Structure 1
Amino acid sequence: MRKKIVFTGGGSAGHVILNLALIPLFQKEGWDVSYIGSKNGIERDLISKVDDVTYYPIETGKLRRYFDWKNLKDPFNVLKGTYQAYRLLRKIKPNVIFSKGGFVSVPVIVAGKLNKVPSIIHESDVTPGLANKIAIPLATKLCVTFKDTEKYIKEKDKVVHTGAIVREEILKGDPAKGLRDLHFTSQKPVLLIMGGSLGSKRINEMIRANLDELLKMFQIVHICGKGNSRHSLHQPGYKQFEYLTDELPDVLAMTDVVVTRAGSNSIFEFLALKKPMLLIPLTKEQSRGDQIINAESFRKAGYAEVLQEEELTQEKFLTIVQKIYQERDRYIAQMDHYEGDFSIQPVLNLIKEVAK
């Protein structure tokens, strides 16, 4: 009998990327793969591009830390989503559930516990998000990227340190092809701006306000997020995209310096590729502060510089970007000391073990 696995996770690309890396590996070994996600989340768009994965949408509510009238309605959505997930799991009868987190994953993990289906959660950041905090007591195992995460977990017997995981295709980019496709030259460095899958209004504004100055130093690839492109901006050496998929490995390969948020998945991919970074983490008003912790850990290790959004001025931004490029060899040398291997194998092995 073929084994079955259900993946869940969504809300942002960071909650889907690892699932996208794992799915083909299970398909190759003959597993039936299903995905439970939200009705309109980014996970539905991303998974729809993968062959032979059955996608099941459920109701979900956002678990907010602030007052919003939707907080009154969302608990009922979570309950409805849990009931839907419960019925789906009874129908699918999976051997295991793998969750990358996000609000949609909570009903699935709860339903898994009710159906006695073992589940594994993956936490990328130093501190677990609210959804994972709720779900961890109900899960079988918790994979963590940072060793320090264990300090924040009560159920220490569930914690497995699997380290950072990087998609294999990211490591196979061709810099010459990237330059050729974008009509860039090899004689001028490339600056990549990446504000997360949903984009960053503040970073986008900073780049556009300083575009002329930046183009004196760099060719620029600006990934600005869905719906955030500015069609009026056309300058030689400047390319903007809402997002990149198949072209991303080649663009990363040709990049010299990265300006980005501090989501764990992205910054570890840049570390694996040895790309010096300027990290501008989400503020505590915008998030739970996880990116601030991620960014500080990379700054201490010597992999990146950090500029808090509250301190973001044109002068500071330009000065730090220029400094990172001029001292790029120092950052790369520090990255050479990183001891992890970025392998997906430990997670793959754990899922198979729990599925037994």
Structure 2
Amino acid sequence: DLFRILKGIVDSYFILRRFKPQVVFSTGGFVSVPVSIAARIMGIPVVIHEQTSSIGLANKIASYFASKIATSFTSSIPFFPSHKVVHTGQPIRKELFTGSKEECYKLFKLNIKLPIIYVTGGSQGSHKINTTVREIVSDLLKYCNIIHQCGRTQGHNDFEELQNFRMKLPKNLQNRYLLKDFIQSDELKHILSGSALLIGRAGAGTVNEALALRIPSIFIPLPFATRNEQYHNAKILKDLGGAEIIEEKDLEPDLLKERIISLLLDTQRREKMAKSLESDSKENATELLIQLILEARKS
């Protein structure tokens, strides 16, 4: 309410006066609005980074008080004043650009003659994705290797059940199906570099990794995300030509299998999808964002 916002501005004023920052950097959320207003009153430059494709109300309000606005996606640009906005992309860890396709095959002892699919439900995993993939794994393994990060889904024993399922596969297929509950960062860089296709949710992290490393993807957005955020994230890559979307309400084993096999068998189409992501892909996003903050400090 208005009283809490006013109190937040006053509290922010005294905090900023105590810390004396040269720049305020915000990634959104309603707690950022009073801080941005207080900083503007005090003459402290404010830099906002909009990390999703669907602009949030907090960043919309804060944009009026910002000196510069950075965006992860070009689709966010029209929502902000043109003289303030800069497309920097989404900073991701530099190490993710240091992976090796060859090392991926070697590290996980995969069949080098077959492409790799990376399936991920995000850090927590997705029971819906896990159970759907389980139904089609045997058929898919005729065409590819699968690295499946299934997580530890709350209320389910997906990891244990998938492990038991894997052990019942023929030995040659077992070796093509790598099952992990969690992927370490030193593994992820090789997995992303080695993947011919990504299947997963459409959180900002996953989408930006697929974009930065130009991985053709099939996204299954989480339907309960705020403002349907995951769908909008996925649609950015779909509109660029680098991804397909299957909404969870439509997700069926046969549909997912058909989409995956169609892409696996069409190398030219996958290459075209990867190429289409170049326009929004920013390997130097971190440097661009730092530069923007430093420029705001000098203004």
TM-score range, shorter chain: 0.7 to 0.9
Name the structure 1 match of 2:171: none
Q: CA deviation at 1:143?
A: 0.8
Aligned counterparts of 1:295 and 1:112: Cα–Cα separation in 2: 34
Aligned counterparts of 1:208 and 1:242: Cα–Cα separation in 2: 18
When residues 189 and 100 of structure 1 are mapped into structure 2, their CA distance, relative to the original with a 3 A threshold, is: same
Q: Does 1:335 align with 2:274?
A: yes
Correspondent of 2:116 among 179, 186, 190: 190
Q: Which has the larger radius of gyration?
A: 2
Aligned counterparts of 1:105 and 1:245: Cα–Cα separation in 2: 30
Q: Secondary structure at the match of 2:141?
A: helix
Aligned counterparts of 1:330 and 1:352: Cα–Cα separation in 2: 41
**Number of corresponding residues:** 280
Which one-letter code corresponds to 1:177 in the other structure? E
Aligned counterparts of 2:46 and 2:241: Cα–Cα separation in 1: 36
Name the structure 1 match of 2:107: 181
Q: Does 1:274 align with 2:184?
A: no
Name the structure 2 match of 1:246: 186
Deviations 1:313-335 (A, max 9, x none): 11101110111211233232343
> How much is the aligned-residue C-alpha RMSD, in angstroms?
3.2
When residues 177 and 335 of structure 1 are mapped into structure 2, their CA distance, relative to the original with a 3 A threshold, is: closer
Q: CA deviation at 1:309?
A: 1.5
Deviates more, 1:228-237 or 1:168-177: 228-237
Preserved contact between residue 23 and residue 46 of structure 2 (Cα < 8 Å)? yes
Of the two structures, which has the highest relative contact order with CA contacts closer than 8 Å and spacing of 6 or more?
A: 2
Name the structure 2 match of 1:148: 75
Name the structure 2 match of 1:22: none
Deviates more, 1:88-97 or 1:226-235: 226-235
TM-score, structure 2 length as denominator?
0.78
Give unmatched runs, 5+ long, in structure 2. Answer: 167-173
Name the structure 1 match of 2:249: 310
Give unmatched runs, 5+ long, in structure 1. Answer: 1-71
Name the structure 2 match of 1:355: 297
Correspondent of 2:47 among 100, 109, 120: 120
Structure with greater proportional helix content = 2
Aligned counterparts of 1:310 and 1:303: Cα–Cα separation in 2: 22
When residues 325 and 103 of structure 1 are mapped into structure 2, their CA distance, relative to the original with a 3 A threshold, is: farther
Which one-letter code corresponds to 1:322 in the other structure? I
Aligned counterparts of 2:8 and 2:225: Cα–Cα separation in 1: 26
Which one-letter code corresponds to 1:169 in the other structure? E
Aligned counterparts of 2:12 and 2:186: Cα–Cα separation in 1: 32
Q: Percent identity?
A: 32
Name the structure 1 match of 2:199: 259
Q: Does 1:214 align with 2:140?
A: yes
Preserved contact between residue 124 and residue 265 of structure 1 (Cα < 8 Å)? no
Name the structure 1 match of 2:162: 233
TM-score, structure 1 length as denominator?
0.67
When residues 277 and 139 of structure 1 are mapped into structure 2, their CA distance, relative to the original with a 3 A threshold, is: same
Preserved contact between residue 275 and residue 332 of structure 1 (Cα < 8 Å)? no
Deviations 1:223-257 (A, max 9, x none): 33465662343223222233432321111112121
Preserved contact between residue 223 and residue 244 of structure 1 (Cα < 8 Å)? no
Name the structure 2 match of 1:57: none
Alignment of 1:20-169 (within 5 A): 88-102=15-29, 105-106=32-33, 108-110=35-37, 112-113=39-40, 115-153=42-80, 155-163=81-89, 165-169=91-95
Preserved contact between residue 214 and residue 274 of structure 2 (Cα < 8 Å)? yes
When residues 281 and 328 of structure 1 are mapped into structure 2, their CA distance, relative to the original with a 3 A threshold, is: farther
Preserved contact between residue 189 and residue 218 of structure 1 (Cα < 8 Å)? yes
Name the structure 1 match of 2:170: none
Q: CA deviation at 1:159?
A: 1.8
Q: CA deviation at 1:186?
A: 1.6
Q: CA deviation at 1:190?
A: 1.6
